[in-house]
């Protein structure tokens, strides 16, 4: 590839506002960000450490807190895995094939975004709770879903449903089906085509979807709160544990656990930025290829 | 391997892409499917490859029905219009792909793959690009890599969809001659799709001209060009002058022109159109024997070895285009506004109800 020289910045003659207006607008935006995003984030860490490092360490390592971390990680990894498989399958079907009911499927995928998480939690209570549709049968067979780990996983899967699929559909759509057709015409099987051609082309978009999905899965409160039953050390995820501690007038411990979630958010942001940077580079390459094809 | 297309029809929703198309490609031939965009030529190619399934009809390879076989079973090499190179693989890996995905028992060793890929890259004269990625290649280079990749699996049939469509004029010309030479070397039965008549006439052994999902004519390039079977083919392959008129008493009467009509049309009085190529118009300063049309020279365009004249018929006010050689033009010494007498040397008459 030829060495790319730094292109001169394009002139924007349309921006004619005086300097002070520009500064003012920038300042307002920064102040807003500071008050609504950075300040709360700082408060979380300040409050968490307000009783010293020892108290912080104790708060995050006590058995209930560790159980909450474990449950959160379990629920998140199961739902990320399930949504990864489902998301790729759904995006593949939607982007590469034409079939009846396609737009209905897309709408269905968006459903979790449209309903309040509390309602999605409630749906599972109404389905699997003791008074629910399958409640008596489950009770007879001694299967616990609501107020137990399976319920939490179900609620998390539902809420994080759209992330992977939504990320992949436009990407796969843009890439079209020609490469897959080429692979098949060269004798590749469906599996070979997927793992050797499709997957490498979508890997960054997929990773991006997984990161967002994971962040949401770990931070989910509403839906999980409804189905959890708040049994300390057993059905409390990290966000629920934070709430319990706070309601017990133990803000330092609550903020200590909250700071773990805040750290997760920061890591997510960094990972997201890194992946975004990669996908954009890939996408730019794709655009360059397409542009060079049209004489 | 020969290809036989039998009565293929295909619709996409309400749009009928192919209507009862039949075609026979003999083993080792290079055939061009020529037509305007939307005429169904690409659909036909994709059906032959197995990338689309026909609504009805069948495809035979070497006399055996292959309509139900899968894409990979057909052993067809397909070169896509936009090449469809695997963008995350090097040129080498692109060409090696078809060998690497073979089932384990048939898969050649790495050493054999390396030799074969190197040989193919030499064949397309791009061995020095083996480690590059597709995004680092020019359009013409990508096209040749796509071809090498398709040839790696030793296909019995090679199908090319607008192989030169996305290239500029100079590269197109070089590449199509190169394709012809390559075909003479490896002799694999090939079909390529194009909307460029020069490309089809220059490269192919046979040309199938398509329009609105139907085959208009199938034949050798000279035959298709010299003896078009329909007004569409006449129009599509090069420029043509139209003489609208009526068949009266066995002759086509168009303004002051009167030409004998073929027997098939001569029977009854009807509307008809005569078709004449610009170089088949005889232009003279003086009225000659036989039927002529008086016209006024409106424009003179010298283009390379020929001179194109735009003429206005004095009888019907229609315009005509005539093509003279430089010598003929010099002899006549015409200038704009002068009167000339035009007579068609070679006129094909079709009934006017034959829609174009």
Nearest C-alpha neighbor of A218 from the set A236, A239, A244, A243: A239
Per the CB < 8 A criterion, the answer to whether B34 and B210 are in contact is yes
CB contact under 8 A, B71 and A182: no
Q: In the structure, what pLDDT confidence band is assigned to residue A5 with cuts at 50, 70 and 90? A: very low
Q: Is A179 on the interface with B (CB under 8 A)?
A: yes
> What burial letters (b/e) apply to A213-226, b meaning 16+ CB within 10 Å?
bbbbbbbbbbbbbb
Inter-chain CB proximity B80 and A182 less than 8 Å: yes
ipTM (interface pTM): 0.78
Q: Does B356 touch chain A (CB under 8 A)?
A: no
CB B134 to CB A286 under 8 A? no
Q: Would the CB atoms of B80 and A292 count as touching at under 8 Å?
A: no
Q: Does B163 touch chain A (CB under 8 A)?
A: no
Strands across the sheet with B251-254, in order? Answer: B257-260, B251-254, B241-248, B270-276, B348-351
Q: Is A194 on the interface with B (CB under 8 A)?
A: no
Average pLDDT over residues A157-183: 88
Q: Element (H or E) spanning B34, and its range?
A: strand B30-34
Position B354 pLDDT exceeds 60: no
CA distances from B289 to B247, B257, B284, B324, B342 (A): 21, 12, 11, 20, 11
The Cα B192–Cα B157 span in angstroms is: 11
Residue A295 has a pLDDT of 44
Question: Shortest CA distance to A65 belongs to which of A213, A259, A216?
Answer: A259
Task: State whether B84 and A186 contact (CB < 8 Å).
Answer: no
Residue by residue, DSSP assigns A49-117 as TTTHHHHHHHHHHSHHHHHHHHHHHHHHHHHHHHHHHHHHHHHHHHHH---TTHHHHHHHHHHHHHS-H
- Mention every residue, 6+ apart, whose C-beta is less than 8 A from residue A256: A48, A55, A56, A59, A60
The CA distance from B116 to the nearest CA of chain A, in Å, is: 15
- The reply to whether residue A188 touches residue B101, judged by beta carbons under 8 angstroms, is yes
Q: What is the pLDDT of residue A2?
A: 44
C-beta atoms of A186 and B152 within 8 A: yes
Sheet with strand B189-194: strands edge to edge: B76-79, B157-161, B189-194, B30-34, B206-211, B214-219
Three-state SS for B289-345 is CCCCEEEEEEEEEEECCEEEEEEEECCCCCEEEEEEEHHHHHHHCCCCCCEEEEEEC
When CB atoms are compared, the residue of A185, A201, A293 closest to B139 is A293
B275, B281, B285, B287 alpha-carbon torsion, rounded to 10° = -50
pLDDT tens digits along A231-272: 777 788 888 888 888 888 887 788 888 888 888 888 888 888
Q: pLDDT-based confidence at B331, cuts 50/70/90?
A: confident
* pTM (two decimals): 0.75
Residue A200 touches partner B, C-beta closer than 8 Å: yes
A164 near B73, Cβ under 8 Å? no
- Round to whole Å and give the CA distance between B134 and A286: 10
Alpha helix locations (H) across B18-162? 41-49, 91-100, 110-123, 139-152
pLDDT band at A4 (very low <50, low <70, confident <90, very high): very low
Query: Cβ of B164 under 8 Å from any chain A Cβ?
Result: no
Q: Is B82 on the interface with A (CB under 8 A)?
A: yes
pLDDT tens figures, B187-201:
889 999 998 888 888
Structure tokens at A184: 């098949």
A159: helix, strand or coil? helix
| Contact list, A186 vs chain B (CB under 8 Å) | 72, 97-98, 101, 149-150, 152-153
Over residues A187-198, mean pLDDT? 89
- Inter-residue contact B320 to B257 (CB < 8 Å): no
> Does B97 reach chain A within 8 Å, measured CB to CB?
yes
Name which of B12, B101, B167, B173 to mutate to probe chain A: the one with the most chain A Cβ atoms within 10 A of its Cβ. B101
Query: In this complex, which of B78, B138, B168 lies closest to A185 when CB atoms are compared?
Result: B78
- Residue B167 distance to chain A (closest CA, Å): 6
How large a percentage of chain A has pLDDT more than 90?
7
Q: Report which of A205, A127, A91, A111 is spatially closest to residue A159, judged by C-alpha positions.
A: A111
Question: What is the pairing mode between strands B157-161 and B15-25?
Answer: unpaired
Contact A189 B153 (CB under 8 A): no
pLDDT in tens, B69-92: 888 888 888 999 888 999 889 999
SS3 B162: coil
Nearest to B136 among A1, A293, A295 (CB): A1
Shortest CA gap B74–chain A (Å)? 8
pLDDT attached to residue A10: 52
Distance CA B281, CA B288 (A): 13
DSSP sequence for B100-125:
HTS-GGGPPPHHHHHHHHHHHHHHTT
Q: Report the half-sphere exposure of A118 (CA within 13 A, side-chain side).
A: 0
Contact: A285, B98; criterion CB under 8 Å: no
The CA R_g of chain B, rounded to the nearest whole Å, is 25
Nearest to A185 among B71, B139, B168 (CB): B71
Q: Confidence band (pLDDT; 50, 70, 90) for A6? A: very low
> Does the pLDDT of residue A69 top 50, yes or no?
yes
Give yes or no for a contact between B296 and B338, defined as CB atoms under 8 angstroms apart. Answer: yes
Gap between the Cα atoms of A47 and A86, Å rounded = 40
- Sequence-ordered list of residues with C-beta below 8 angstroms from that of B195, at least 6 positions apart, any chain: B34, B35, B36, B37, B41, B162, B165
CB B153 within 8 A of CB B98: yes
Is a pLDDT exceeding 80 seen at residue B183? yes
Tokens coding B192: 């390529």
A55/A6 Cα distance (integer angstroms)? 52
Distance CA B271, CA B246 (A): 4
Structure confidence at residue B193 (pLDDT): 92
> Chains A, B: CB contacts under 8 A, how many?
80
Asked whether the beta carbons of residue A178 and residue B152 sit closer than 8 angstroms, the reply is no
Radius of gyration of chain A (CA): 24
Q: What is the pLDDT of residues A199-237, one digit of tens each?
A: 888 888 888 888 888 888 888 888 888 888 777 777 888
pLDDT for the residue B114 = 92
Q: Tell me whether B53 touches chain A (CB under 8 Å).
A: no
Q: Does B107 touch chain A (CB under 8 A)?
A: no
Give the closest of B88, B150, B152 to A201, CB-based.
B88
pLDDT at A28: 94
B175 CA: distance to closest CA in chain A (Å):
15
Rounded mean pLDDT, B318-337: 87
A170 Cβ under 8 Å from any chain B Cβ = no
Q: Are residues B150 and A289, on separate chains, in Cβ contact within 8 Å?
A: no
CB distance A188–B136 less than 8 Å? no
Q: Which one of A98, A186, A290 would you mutate to disrupt binding with B, by most B Cβ within 10 Å of its Cβ?
A: A186
Q: Terminus-to-terminus CA distance in chain A, angstroms?
A: 19
Tens-place pLDDT, residues B252-277: 888 888 887 777 776 677 788 888 88
Residue B33 · residue B41 · CB < 8 Å = yes
Nearest beta carbon to residue A295 from set B98, B101, B167: B167
CB contact under 8 A, A187 and B72: yes
In the prediction, which pLDDT does B145 show? 92
Q: Is the separation of the CB atoms in B3 and B76 below 8 Å?
A: no
């Amino acid at each position: 590839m030829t060495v790319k020289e730094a292109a001169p910045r394009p002139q924007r003659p349309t921006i004619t506002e005086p300097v002070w207006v520009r500064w003012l607008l920038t300042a307002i935006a920064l102040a807003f960000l500071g008050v609504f995003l950075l300040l709360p984030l700082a408060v979380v860490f300040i409050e968490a450490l307000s009783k010293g490092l020892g108290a912080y360490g104790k708060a995050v390592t006590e058995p209930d807190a560790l159980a909450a971390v474990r449950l959160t990680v379990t629920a998140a990894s199961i739902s990320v895995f399930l949504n990864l498989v489902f998301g790729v399958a759904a995006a593949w079907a939607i982007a590469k094939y034409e079939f009846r009911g396609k737009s209905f499927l897309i709408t269905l995928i968006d459903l979790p975004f449209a309903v309040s998480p509390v309602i999605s939690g409630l749906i599972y209570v109404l389905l699997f709770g003791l008074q629910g549709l399958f409640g008596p049968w489950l009770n007879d067979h001694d299967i616990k879903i609501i107020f137990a780990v399976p319920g939490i996983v179900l609620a998390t899967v539902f809420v994080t449903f759209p992330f992977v699929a939504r990320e992949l559909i436009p990407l796969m759509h843009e890439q079209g089906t020609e490469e897959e057709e080429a692979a098949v015409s060269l004798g590749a099987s469906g599996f070979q085509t997927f793992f050797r051609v499709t997957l490498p082309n979508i890997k960054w978009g997929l990773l991006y979807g997984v990161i967002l999905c994971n962040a949401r899965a770990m931070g989910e409160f509403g839906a999980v709160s409804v189905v959890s039953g708040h049994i300390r050390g057993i059905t409390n995820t990290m966000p629920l544990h934070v709430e319990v501690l706070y309601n017990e007038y133990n803000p330092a411990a609550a903020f200590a656990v909250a700071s773990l979630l805040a750290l997760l958010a920061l890591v997510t942001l960094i990972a997201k930025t890194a992946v975004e940077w990669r996908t954009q580079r890939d996408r730019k390459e794709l655009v360059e290829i397409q542009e060079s094809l049209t004489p | 391997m020969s290809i036989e297309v039998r009565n293929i029809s295909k619709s996409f929703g309400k749009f009928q892409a192919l209507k009862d198309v039949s075609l026979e490609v003999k083993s080792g031939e290079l055939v061009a499917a020529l037509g305007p965009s939307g005429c169904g030529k690409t659909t036909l190619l994709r059906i032959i490859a197995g990338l689309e399934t026909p609504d009805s009809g069948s495809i035979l390879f070497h006399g055996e029905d292959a309509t139900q076989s899968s894409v990979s079973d057909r052993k067809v090499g397909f070169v896509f219009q936009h090449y469809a190179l695997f963008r995350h693989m090097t040129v080498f890996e692109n060409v090696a792909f078809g060998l690497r995905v073979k089932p384990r028992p048939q898969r050649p060793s790495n050493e054999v793959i390396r030799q074969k890929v190197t040989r193919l890259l030499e064949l397309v004269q791009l061995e020095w690009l083996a480690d590059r990625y597709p995004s680092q290649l020019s359009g013409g280079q990508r096209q040749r890599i796509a071809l090498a990749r398709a040839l790696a699996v030793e296909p019995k049939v090679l199908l090319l969809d607008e192989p030169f469509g996305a290239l500029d004029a100079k590269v197109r010309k070089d590449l199509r001659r190169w394709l012809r030479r390559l075909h003479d070397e490896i002799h694999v039965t090939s079909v390529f799709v194009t909307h460029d008549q020069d490309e089809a006439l220059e490269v192919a052994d046979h040309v199938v001209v398509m329009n609105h999902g139907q085959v208009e004519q199938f034949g050798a390039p000279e035959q298709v060009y010299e003896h078009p079977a329909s007004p569409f083919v006449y129009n599509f392959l090069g420029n043509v002058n139209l003489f609208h008129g009526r068949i009266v008493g066995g002759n086509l009467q168009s303004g002051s022109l009167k030409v004998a009509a073929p027997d098939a049309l001569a029977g009854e009085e009807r509307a008809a159109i005569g078709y004449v190529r610009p170089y088949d118009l005889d232009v003279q300063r003086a009225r000659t024997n036989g039927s002529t049309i008086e016209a006024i020279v409106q424009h003179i365009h010298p283009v390379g070895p020929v001179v194109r004249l735009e003429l206005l018929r004095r009888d019907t006010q229609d315009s005509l285009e005539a093509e003279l050689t430089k010598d003929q033009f010099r002899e006549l010494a015409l200038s704009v506004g002068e009167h000339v007498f035009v007579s068609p040397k070679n006129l094909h008459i079709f009934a006017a109800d034959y829609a174009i």
